[in-house]
Amino acid sequence: MNEAVPAVPASAESMAKQGCEKLGLDTFDALVRRARTCRRFDESMRVPREFLLELAELAHLAPCGANAQRLRFHVVCGAEDCARVFDELTWAGALKDWSGPDEGERPTGYIAILAERAVPGKPAAPITEVDTGIAAQTMMLAARSATPEVAACMFKAFTPHAIAAMGIDNDKYELKLIMAFGVPAETQVIDAIDSNPDGSINYWRDEAQVHHVPKRPLADAVVTRRCGTIRRQNHHKGARLLRGDARGGRVADLYLVRHGQTELNVKNILQGWHDSPLTARGREQALATRAAFEDRGVTFDRVYSSPLGRARCTAELIVGEGRSIELVDDLREWHLGSLEGTSNREMPAQPWGDYPVAFGGESESELRARMVTALSRIMARPRHDCVLAVSHGSACQEFLRCVTGRGEQPDNGAVLHFGYFDGAFSLLGW
């Protein structure tokens, strides 16, 4: 007897559905579809502290980078404490006419996801961003699997005062995410990508107050390999690609570090090509950076530094004695001519543009061009998969501006992590 030939799936979605059925993933599929962000809760049914602690335990057991376990969790469940956290949150940016849940519909518990800072006041290791996402989704799925169900809302939009409202030391911990929990009092559904009446892909509510979440079809989300060279796209918010010397498809990491604090930094004196020794604080910053790299298992193929003493000393403290450091003139600080050695307080507000040229210095565009050229040439070299480069505040700022369009100057000792692929840079972490 001839066997029936299975019907050919009509779409990527139908193939995925068949796969779920065959592999026994139906239950988990339903859980994922149900675990949507909830913004209105039944406040008469409070989430017990024990339940929140169990969620934190599950998040703690989830995978994390290098098993470093840098995340910490703070549970909030009392009515007064919940009210203080609620006041620091921003709700549903896409719902312009809705400022957040009314009394009686607010969360009854929170879990703050925190990351330990390697250096007080400095950002936590970039990998904690990944760890945070894993922990948050673990808790959201776990909550939805409970009986009765508990729903969650993830908050990255909170005020700078949120961590203080919870009584947590901001110098020691960086607040990554706030998870709000409660018994759901609204219905959320996954809908077609073009379901929103305004034509956008924003979530929306219908007249019955059902919350619709437009999702692209799987066929639009699955990327297939094309013939020829595989190219990685950069999706970092605000990032731009800088074209340099093309290289054969290797992905590499560039860690660009600003030197530690100097004596002239403390005095607010313009340094430029003038030099100044590191303070005790500056040396501590460099050693803390070394410890952070060691904790993450980061090892460098090559090390580069500006030839100015403050940068070279920082590089030596980071990589230790005996390690070869190549000095690159173009990694120097902005040359400010006769302005060097004068008070920073007397300078006009940035951007300075061509202002230093009249004093025998270089223009902002000249600084930017030499930094881009120098780092592009370095990263284009073979066997440069992980590179450390130590430079200066304005020099790092201009390179960052080229990659991201943003012009913040990094603090002393700051580490900027860039990806480099096929002649292009992208900011991965700061």
Domain 251-429 -> CATH class: alpha beta
What tokens does 380 get?
A: 């284009």
What tokens does 271 get?
A: 């340094």
What is the sign of the dihedral through the CA atoms of 391, 402, 122 and 114? negative
Q: Identify the pLDDT of residue 16.
A: 63
- How far apart CA 250 and CA 353 sit, in angstroms, is 35
Bridge partners, 212 (sequence order): 189, 204
Per annotation, catalytic residue among 88, 174, 333, 364: 333
Q: Where are the alpha helices (DSSP H) in 119-175?
A: 127-144, 162-165
pLDDT one-digit tens code per residue, 57-67: 999 999 999 89
Q: Identify the pLDDT of residue 280.
A: 95
Is the N-terminal amide bond of 184 cis, ω within 30° of 0?
no
What tokens does 18 get?
A: 């068949």
What tokens does 97 get?
A: 């006419």
Residue 333 designated active-site: yes
Q: Where are the domains of the chain?
A: 36-186, 251-429
- For residues 289 and 318, is the Cβ–Cβ distance under 8 A? yes
pLDDT one-digit tens code per residue, 250-295: 578 999 999 999 999 999 888 989 999 999 999 999 999 999 999 8
What tokens does 157 get?
A: 């939009």
Q: Identify the pLDDT of residue 11.
A: 56
Q: Identify the pLDDT of residue 69.
A: 94
- How far apart CA 132 and CA 154 sit, in angstroms, is 11
Per annotation, catalytic residue among 211, 212, 259, 335: 259
Q: Identify the pLDDT of residue 240.
A: 40
Residues in the chain, pLDDT under 50? 1-9, 225-249
For 163, phi then psi, to 5°, come to: -65, -35
- How far apart CA 243 and CA 229 sit, in angstroms, is 16
CATH superfamily of 36-186: NADH Oxidase (3.40.109.10)
